[in-house]
Structure 1
Amino acid sequence: MTMLKQPSGADSVAPSDRKAVIVGGGEAYRAEQGSDYLPGISAETVGAKVLWLGVVTMPPGKRTKAHVHARHETAFYMLSGDELEMWSGDELQFRDVVHPGDYLYIPANMLHVAVNRASTPAIFIGARNEPTAQESVVLFPEMDERIP
């Protein structure tokens, strides 16, 4: 298999189904629900068709808005930080705490809120079966006040 480091700028090599592509990552962005995303593998960076892989950060003292990912599953591995509260369920009635070294799975269409009450960023490697930056997020603002 040929490995290609994808350069940036005018010399960029278009992704291909016939060779592997190595990228330095895409442009960082703040997702609609409030977490910071740094894509590595995505439709935008390599032409991925069903996969997104990157770094997701919840800044210290911040939280996401109540939301679901209507059409995709999400998986995270917590790299660093103190801990992160994960509230989930139809009424956001379940509270779990994620620590560095833990894996987290969020099924498609699962209502959830992530809260970082610590003074350090919570940093995750994340993957989902939706390749674009414009994922299938649906916000539930009426549920935001349920989480203290």
Structure 2
Amino acid sequence: MTQKVTILNPDTTAIAKQGMPQFFGISGATAGAQGISMNLTAFGPGGKAKAHYHRGFETAIYGMTGRIALYHGPRLEELSLIVPGTFCFIPAGIPHVAFNLSDSEPATALSARNDPAEQENVVLTPELDGLRDADAAALKTGA
């Protein structure tokens, strides 16, 4: 297969398997990528993801706007804050869930994964959904 440079400018979001709006960017399907995907996640005010992990693939995130609480670990017991200028690495197979910590402002993050299939290896973990909602709400209010 002959590779070529591809420029994409998605002007609308779609809902990712994880439940949040994303500008889907580079992937095998959109650009013929063979080892990477990259998207812009656009959390609306108060937005959150569904708990999930990425089967066999690592994720890198760069905070662009807003404050995002990332709970991670087997029971989502660990907390990392993603703010503008913050880089975050999530190893393959680590359950996580993200919350926009503002109910009035959006939050955005750029994510890259060593998986050109992008959504095919997202594994939802519904047994973990809701586990950290109260914690995230407390962070919003400063309680």
TM-score, shorter chain, exceeding 0.5:
yes
User: Do structure 1's residue 144 and structure 2's residue 126 form an aligned pair?
Assistant: no
Moved more, 134-143 or 93-102: 134-143
Which residue does 2:91 correspond to in 1?
107
Aligned to 2:110: 125
Q: Is the 8 A contact 1:75 1:103 kept in 2?
A: yes
Quote the RMSD (CA, aligned, Å). 1.9
Q: What 5-or-longer segments of structure 1 have no aligned partner? A: 1-14
Write the deviation string for residues 37-67 of structure 1: whole angstroms up to 9, x where unpaired.
2122111221111111121122210211111
Q: Which residue of 2 aligns with 1:72?
A: 57
Provide runs of 4+ in structure 1 moved above 4 Å.
none
Q: 1:112 to 1:49 in 2, by over 3 A?
A: same
Structure ID, larger Rg: 1
TM-score of the superposition, structure 2-length normalised? 0.83
For the residues of structure 1 that align with 2:106 and 2:84, how far apart are their CA atoms?
11
Deviation at 1:111, TM superposition (A): 0.6
Q: Deviations over 1:55-83 (max 9, x none)?
A: 112221021111111121111111112x1
Aligned residues: 132
SS of the equivalent of 2:45 reads coil
Structure with bigger helix share is: 2
Question: Would you say the 8 A contact 1:26–1:44 is kept in 2?
Answer: no
Amino acid in the other structure paired with 2:30: T
Percent identity, aligned pairs only?
Answer: 36
